[in-house]
Each structure stands twice: as C-alpha cells, then as structure tokens.
Chains A and B, each alone.
Chain A
Amino acid sequence: MSGEQILFWLFAVTACAGAISVALSQIVVRMAVSLIVCLSSVSALFFLHNADFVGAVQLMVYVGGTIVLLIFGIMLTSSSPFSKIKTSPAEGFLSAGIGALFLSIIAFTVTQVDWKIQSDKVAAAAPVKVSSEGYNAAADGNTARPLALSFLGLRPDQNGQAPGYLLPFEIVSVHLLVVLIGAAYLARTKRRVAPNA
C-alpha cells in the first residue's frame, strides 16, 4: 500500500465517522464539532488529489461556515447550555430511509461506471501533463492560475479557443451579494414597536 492509499483510507474513514456521529449525536455542540471533523477530512482528501484550491475553499468556506453556524445556531438561540436535540422515531425512520436511498444511488453509480474507460478519456483529454520537475512547476497539480484565467474569460486548457466562465462567475457573484444583503437584512436589529420614552 502506498502512502497515498494509507492517507486516503485514513481520511475517508474519518470523514465517514464524522458524518455518522453528526447523525447519532444529540448534543448540538458535539454535532457541530463532528461536522467540522467530517468537512476537514473531505478537504484533506482534496489535498490528497492535488486539488489545493478546492481544499482551501473547503476549509475556508465550509469549516469556517460551521463556526458561524455554531455561533448563531447554538450560542444565540439556545435557552440552556449544552442543549440537546431529540428526534422522534418517525423522523429517524424517514431520514434513515432517505439516507438508504441516497446510498443505493451512489453505490449503483459507482458500480455501473466503467472507470477504466473514464480514466483513459481523462488522460487523453488532460491538458496538463503530470510531472514533478522542480518545485512549484505549473504542471504539478497547481490549478489556481488556469482556474483564475478561466474565470476571467481565458481558457488556458483549451488554447484560448473555448469560451471562458466570466458570465457564470459574475452571475454567481451577484447572487452571493444578494444573499449577503438578505442575511444582513434579516439579522439587523429590529426597531421596538412601543418605545418607552
């Protein structure tokens, strides 16, 4: 077993364990911590596959987002410390059923795809050759620069011939801005209806 494989299994098992303990735990803070464990392990898997940028975004956005969830979900709303969530059996059955369905879809997909053909296709279409010449070589899985250029409308992987992603990027950015403004609107201090003075 190579080092990559050992690390892959380590982080895959940790991610699954975190996810399971989110579902099984009843204390809200522990659920949040398990979520952090799960999401961090997924970002470690991204790093393992040389997707630095996605891994960093996973850490920054998802793990950081969980902190905000922790603060607003628990600290500002719960009435007692270490508040617990009790689920009814009906909810348990429903979510277990949905989870089982989802798991079967994933299992079905994984077993039905011919991974050999797919990997050959990817290898044939891969614009970046994998090499480890020197350090910080552009071909060494460092995808930040081609990604950024694609978002600006240049496609380095297609020799600049394909349309870039400038429009989707702008649409998503504006969308996020709208969400931010909406969140600020919802979170603002409400004016009192009947002022005392």
Chain B
Amino acid sequence: MSLVLANTPIDLVTEGLGLTGAWAWFVVAVIHTILIGLFFGIPAGVFIWAERKVSGRIQDRLGPTRVGGRFGWLQSAADGAKLIQKEDLVPKDADSLLFRAAPYIVVVASFAAFMFLPFGDGWSAVSTDVGLFLMFAMLSLEVIGVILAGYCSGSKWALFGAMREAAQMISYEIPMAICALIPIIIVGSLNLNEIVRFQSGEGGFPSLTLLNWNIFHPIAAPAFILYFVCATASCKRAPFDLAEAESELVAGFLTEYSGMRWSFFFLAEYASMFAVSAIAAILFLGGWDDGVGIVSGLRSSGHEYSASAIGAVILIAKASKLVLVQIWVRWTLPRLRIDQVMTTCLKYLIPMACALFLAAATYPLVLNRANHGRTDLRSPIGDRVPMRAVEASEAHAVLAAPDSTELAAADGEVTQ
C-alpha cells in the first residue's frame, strides 16, 4: 500500500517540504483527509439539490427556487444550516452511547471508501493491489451503523427498518460482488488504477479507446446492469428503500433521529451513491478515459498533470450521471415489498450473476481456442496486464519464474 499525491510518491513530496518522520506522515494524512473530505462532502450536497430538482421535474413541480437565485443552488447549504441549529434529541428508551455513535460509523464507513477511489491516473489517496476489495469491505461496514441506529433507538419502527436493512444488505452484497468480479477476471487485477489503465489502452490521440471499455465486452455488459441494480439496493435507494419506507415505517431506522445526526445518514447515503457509481464507472465505463484518446494522448505527450486533471473531471462526470440515473429511478418506480426484494435477489440476481461469472471465466478459453485452435490451461486466465507489458513468450517466463525485479519492471512498463 503506498500513499500517492498527484502521481508523485509521497516521500518525494515531503522531502521537498523538508519534512521527515512523524511530521511528514501527519502532513500527508491531513492533506489527504482534506482532499477526500471535499470530494466526499461537495458532491453529496450537489446531489441532494439535484434530487430535489429532479423529483420536482418528475412530479411536475419546480423544486427549490428561492435560496440562492432562480435555481435554488444554495438549498443544500440552507438545509445544513437549519439542521445544525436543531436540537439533538436522544429518546429515553435508547442506548444513548450507541445511538449517538451510529451516524459516525455510517459516515466513516462511506468516507473511508473514498480513500481508494482513483480520480485520475494515480490520483488516489491510497493505491493498493486489493483496492476494489477494500472499497467493498469499507462500504459494507455502513450497515453496522444502520443496524445500530435501528436497534439502539428503542423504537419498533426503527427496529423493523434495521432488520429489513440487514436482510437486504447481506443478500445484495453477494450478486454485487460477483458482478464486480467479472471485470476483474477480464482485466486480471484488483487495483483500480490498473483496471482503468487496461481500458484506456496505450494509443495516443486520436484512438478509439471507447471500444476497449468493459461495457462493450459481451459478458461485462449485462454484468454492468446487474451491478447497478445491486448497487442501488446497497445504497438503500428506492425501489429498495425498505429500511426507511416512509409510508410504512414512518422513517425506518431514521425515525428517532433529528438535526445533525439525521443529516449525517443522508450525507453518507449520497456519498456512497457517488462511490458505487464511481466504482461502476471505473469497472465498466472506462474510468477517467474519455473514449477518443485525448487523456491518453496528453499523457503520452508528457502532460501528466493536465491528463490527470481532465481525467478526474471525466470520472466525476461519469459517476454523476450514474447518480442521476439512481435519482431518476427513485422517483419513477414504486417501492417493492420486502418479500419481492428478497425474491429478486435470491431467485434472479444471484443465479444470473453466477452464470455471468462462469461465462466470464470460460470466455478467454473459448476465445483462445477460436484464435489459436487450442485451449491453453497452463497460464492463469487473468494475466492480461502483465502480458501486455512484455512479449508473450517472456510473459510465460515471468509467470513461471518472476524475479521481483522483473515483476516490478513489468509493472513499470504497464505504468507507462
């Protein structure tokens, strides 16, 4: 696991500042936290405003119009200011310590997932070989806070909401993870940077890297749709919002919350909507790649910084579009019943995801047979990233006897 700041190893940055030891660590941690905090908080505020506007349009209303000019730009800020002033209530029957702690657990869990998100090539706070796995691990911790909130409120509505949420999250994580595995099989790496680098190709401008995106892979395309359905469910968004279900359960696990603690849950919800959408963009839609080779062209001509900056804008735009789809779905589809939610997952989504997984695992073998007339079982299937870096004959040598330096060299070549 290495800390990176704007494509530069963090040691170099801190050396330039004349910092060593604990101070360098501290400064690096503060910089990363502030940057991720901005990416965590600002999109959440924008999406809350967008949700109000979009729901207004869908229901033939105007939505917010007054705060901050004609379009109500400042509605989220005004909401925040209002919520801070509200009284912080704890019910008498609640377990007060855990009731107070639950919103923080939810926020920290979805905040931590942003650590691994690469906004541009190498523009992630933490770059690790198991980045995607870690992101899912972090996002799955969000459910702890929701269950604690529901259970410790000392209210029946909240308990029902928490039970539904637990059942739903545990079920939907399975097809979501299996669908996310399919691009992993195609690319052969869990590193989010490498997954996008694989899709963005190596050509300069103009080159149609669009066709290299995983969404155009015959097996990954249905997996994208399945992933997005499961991701919507994992964010507790309608039509899967049974944990809140205003018309049935008052507000589910949120019933007893007010003020700032209540808004923390919403901040986390919108942030994790952005996080799962960004994962979808990275896995299936080419991440920071623009599809016509502008970013990779800039990079190969030496403009690393501007390439990464443009890439970050592209990734955020892609993820925001997917968030808008989630908003659109929320306001146009009716809520499912809890048994329908479980049936959808267990009887339809999991078998479909498993079938796609099997297809993705065997597809390279079939392709190999079609190309070369033989089935090659000697090398692991997902070795396409190191294979591109070195000649095909050498690649087998690397896999059979990879010296550490050779592996590093292979990775270095992929980087370029």
Contact = CB atoms under 8 A, between A and B. Distances in A.
A36 B152 CA distance: 16
A53 B412 contact: no
Contacts of B193: 136
Given A56-B134, A63-B141, A81-B154, A138 B127 contact: no
A23 interface: no
A176 interface: no
Interface in A86-121: none
Contacts of A140: 1-2
Given A29-B152, A67-B143, A71-B147, A138 B411 contact: yes
Contact of B404 (A70, A74, A127): A127
A132 B9 contact: yes
A29 B94 CA distance: 12
Interface stretch (B22-30, B226-234, B270-278): B22-30
Interface in A137-178: 137-145, 148-149, 152, 154, 156, 159-160
A67 to B, nearest CB: 6
Given A64-B140, A129-B404, A159-B401, A29 B412 contact: no
Instruction: Tell me whether chain B's interface is mostly helix, strand or loop, or mixed.
Output: helix
Contact of B1 (A4, A142, A148, A159): A142
B143 A145 contact: no
A52 B95 contact: no
B380 A139 contact: no
A135 interface: yes
A134 to B, nearest CB: 6
A152 B378 CA distance: 11
B136 interface: yes
Interface residues of B, number: 59
Interface string B9-34: 10100000000011011100000000
Contact of B408 (A60, A74, A139, A148): A139
B95 A29 contact: yes
A67 B24 contact: no
Nearest to A81: B154
A6 interface: yes
A40 to B, nearest CB: 8
Interface in B168-214: 170, 189-191, 193-194
Contact of A47 (B1, B9, B98, B403): B1
Given A3-B21, A59-B138, A149-B380, A136 B401 contact: no
B402 A52 contact: no
Contact of A154 (B194, B400, B404, B415): B400
B129 interface: yes
A71 B98 CA distance: 16
Max count, chain B CB within 10 A of own CB: residue among A70, A137, A154: A137
Given A59-B138, A134-B415, A142-B129, A67 B166 contact: yes
Given A29-B148, A74-B151, A136 B95 contact: no
A39 B380 CA distance: 33
A27 interface: yes
B78 interface: no
A8 B89 CA distance: 36
B404 A139 contact: yes
B147 A60 contact: no
10 contacts: A3-B26, A50-B1, A60-B133, A63-B144, A64-B137, A71-B147, A75-B166, A135-B122, A145-B129, A156-B401
Given A136-B129, A156-B402, A156-B407, 11 more contacts: A6-B22, A27-B95, A59-B138, A67-B166, A67-B170, A75-B163, A82-B95, A129-B405, A136-B2, A137-B2, A141-B1
